[in-house]
Amino acid sequence: MTKTPSTPSPATGDPVDSEETFAVPTVNADLDEHEPEPEDLPDDRFLDRELSWLAFNERVLELAEDEGTPLLERARYLAIFASNLDEFFMVRVAGLKRRIAAGFAVPSSTGISATRLVEMLTDRAHVLMDRHAAVFQDHVAPALSEQGIWLVRHDDLGSSEQERLRKLFRSDIFPVLTPLAVDPAHPFPYISGLSLNLAVELRDPDSGKDLFARVKVPETLPRFLSVDSEGHAAQVTDASALDDEPRSFVPLEDVIAAHLDYLFPGMEVVSHYTFRVTRNEDVEVEEDDAENILKAMEKELLRRRFGPAVRLEVVTNLPTSIKERLVRELGVTDHDVFELDAPLDLTGLTVIADLDRPRLQFPAFRPTTHHQLAPVETADEQNIFQAIRRGDVLLHHPYDSFSTSVQAFLAQAAVDPRVLAIKQTLYRTSGDSPIVDSLIEAARNGKQVVALVEIKARFDEQRNISWARKLEQAGVHVVYGLVGLKTHCKLSLVVRQEESGLVRYCHVGTGNYHPKTARLYEDYGLLTNNPQVGSDLTKLFNQLSGYAPKAKFRRLIVAPTGVRKSLIERINAEAENARNGKEAWVKIKVNSIVDEKTIDALYRASEAGVTVELVVRGICAVRPGVPGLSENIRVRSVLGRFLEHSRVYAFCNDGEPDVFIGSADLMHRNLDRRIEALISIEDDQQRANLIENIDMAMSPEFSGWELGEDGLWTRTTAQEDTERLKDVQETYIRRQPKRRAKGK
């Protein structure tokens, strides 16, 4: 077992069927609004959200450290850790620094000042990045070498291999490079965020003058170059297409560095060192002041490229003079400098992880078609609408195929002559998405098609703008949601003319309409033609595309006005049942839980005797197991080959469980600044399945991490250090075909 430090800091009735009013929040999106501390609860009852996030990323790192993880998957986890940390600095650390600089920083709910928190985060990041580099250098890279996958430096290659790389450099790399001199006539160049660069020291042989230059490693070229056993060199654009013979992989920057004489002919190359910069790349759009949100977003994306630097990564042997120059020119502090063994930027290890070496990867997995959607021979035409009419379909991705369920639902709707209209929310999707293609085809077939596009989806903004315009050009009515609120709910509505009249078919999910991530993310979705759900979705889409500030929902709970209120009422109802001697429990599965009001409700429920079980993948501000406060609260985390992404809320409800799935996490942004939707699950078997899945994640029979009252996450992978515990995700993979055969 290992410990992960995370520094701690300080209902009955029917609320679903109530009026909800949408209004633009007045609170600044960068500031958390906290009400006065309840007098009956301790001040130190919350864990810090940012430190908790670092603890989550450390859990990812532990998967890379685990020798029981397949080797190439360990390399993938190293890449994921690096990518996660990049985003953390670009958004969270950058946001804190921006608030400090603007004078708007306020202490967090834990009482830690923003300045102190940045120091703590940076200190912790130094430790984790050093550990990350050591895992690669001391464990993963040597293990890869034993399998004939050598990650080597250019100087380690033989002369024939170096000659092959020289030819490749001259033909494919040299024409792309642009050396930039730094002297009185050439100011220090702008260094783009996350770019890998070479700092080059030169000497003029005629004058003996020392010079400085920068060479950017092109992002358009593959991160690693491959050299096979016969010395043939090639760019690696699709590692899965490479054969399984032994081969070496050389970082692109090493090859560039070895041929700097081509870039600076006539100059003496004294030395060269790699460095990498992380910048503030969060997006701020005051859309209520913007005449056109699309143009405003494009302008903001252009500005984002020039955000201030927040982190500088350099190699350990970097001379002090160059380090001081970079610190000065980039405007960072010494504390923001991370000295690491080369190679920098291990996000590129995804290329290695994708090699076609099945025995070094997780066993192959193919999603299965949900048994309710499997073809059934009938007298009528076979289609997905028939299957939905037979009963609600609860999907569990990636175990249930996305392509034969949600994707097929929209594809059939696009060509079905009886379908009159399709309404769809899109938060993230792939550039070549069949979902987008189906919407375009439907519009071209004369159907009324509305797409609610969230162009402020972080780091997908440019992509979303591109295909939003593609949709508009095809005749789709594209709506960009409500001012001040992100549209994060996952909804599809298909209106179909049938013999009985108009029937509305719906999909409400926990994950994005993204066919690629649907194979990697664990999510739930409900397909139904229930009239109440159809009515709810119609009202919600009308609110999002028109003027309908008030509505009553029957099966949906909608943020920003209803989710927190409804969940707290249900938690309070469990507390009242416990006080009356009735069975009472709350089971929640989310990505993150930070919202103080909800957490306080859980604390009071625990004090009343309610059993509270939380499955939290990422950030968790709950401090469980504290006597007199939260001794009835347990928190576990599950990480694995799939990213746990679903949100499930279940309540005992006096023996008649109340269960919801949906898009909302328990965070301020989800509850206050986004359009989110939860849907109640009505089928008894489906409710039981959802509850059972949470129980599995909480069971000591399965591996996972448990959060202690001290803020430390403890991982358990084996019983008494012998037999490895069962894995939740692998259990789903094995049981899925059996459950489908039994029709569950």
pLDDT digits (tens, 9 = 90+) for 422-440: 999 988 766 678 998 999 9
Region of 625 on the Ramachandran plot (φ > 0 left; ψ -120 to 50 alpha; else beta): left
Longest CA–CA span in the chain (Å) reads 92
pLDDT, mean of residues 218-223: 90
280 has a pLDDT exceeding 90: no
**pLDDT tens for residues 606-623?**
999 999 999 999 999 999
In degrees and rounded to multiples of 5, residue 162 shows phi and psi of: -65, -35
Tokens matching residue 377: 């021979």
- Separation between Cα atoms, residue 489 and residue 425, nearest integer Å: 7
**pLDDT tens for residues 503-533?**
999 999 999 898 888 999 999 999 999 999 9
6 has a pLDDT exceeding 70: no
pLDDT, mean of residues 55-69: 96
Confidence of residue 238 (pLDDT cuts 50, 70, 90): low
Per DSSP, the three-state class of 596 is: helix
- Separation between Cα atoms, residue 244 and residue 96, nearest integer Å: 46
Tokens matching residue 427: 């938060």
Residue 355 CB partners (closer than 8 Å, separation 6+) = 72, 149, 239, 240, 242, 244
Per DSSP, the three-state class of 626 is: coil
Residue whose structure tokens are 């209106």: 495
The pLDDT assigned to 196 comes to 95
pTM more than 0.85: yes
Instruction: Enumerate the active-site residues.
Output: 488
241 has a pLDDT exceeding 70: no
C-alpha angle 315/316/320, rounded to 5°?
95
Q: Following CA atoms 466, 469, 473, 474 in sequence, which dihedral angle do they give, to the nearest 10 degrees?
A: 70
The pLDDT assigned to 469 comes to 79
Confidence of residue 23 (pLDDT cuts 50, 70, 90): very low
The pLDDT assigned to 484 comes to 72
Residue whose structure tokens are 């060479």: 215
Per DSSP, the three-state class of 270 is: strand
- Separation between Cα atoms, residue 527 and residue 505, nearest integer Å: 7
Could you tell me if 621 and 600 are in contact, meaning their C-beta atoms sit under 8 angstroms apart? no
**pLDDT tens for residues 188-210?**
888 888 999 999 999 999 998 99
27 has a pLDDT exceeding 50: no
Q: Which of 181-185, 598-602, 734-738 has the lowest mean pLDDT?
A: 734-738
**pLDDT tens for residues 454-490?**
765 454 556 667 777 788 888 888 887 666 788 889 9
Number of C-beta neighbours around residue 274 at 10 A: 24
Residue 380 CB partners (closer than 8 Å, separation 6+) = 386
Domains and CATH numbers, the chain: 3-49+559-742 (3.30.870.10), 152-353 (3.30.1840.10), 371-549 (3.30.870.10)
- Separation between Cα atoms, residue 178 and residue 197, nearest integer Å: 11
| Sign, Cα dihedral of 316, 318, 320, 326 | negative
> Within its chain, how far is the Cα of 12 from the centroid?
35
The per-residue pLDDT of the chain, averaged, comes to 86
Could you tell me if 40 and 600 are in contact, meaning their C-beta atoms sit under 8 angstroms apart? no
Number of C-beta neighbours around residue 183 at 10 A: 11
Long-range interactions of 330-339: CB distance < 8 A, separation 24+: 330/191, 330/277, 335/119, 335/122, 336/122, 336/309, 336/310, 336/311, 336/312, 337/312, 337/313, 338/125, 338/126, 338/129, 338/311, 338/312, 338/313, 338/314, 339/314, 339/315
CB burial of residue 42 (10 Å; 0-12, 13-18, 19+): middle
The pLDDT assigned to 95 comes to 87
From residue 56, how far is each of 5, 110, 350, 712 by CA, in Å?
10, 18, 20, 11
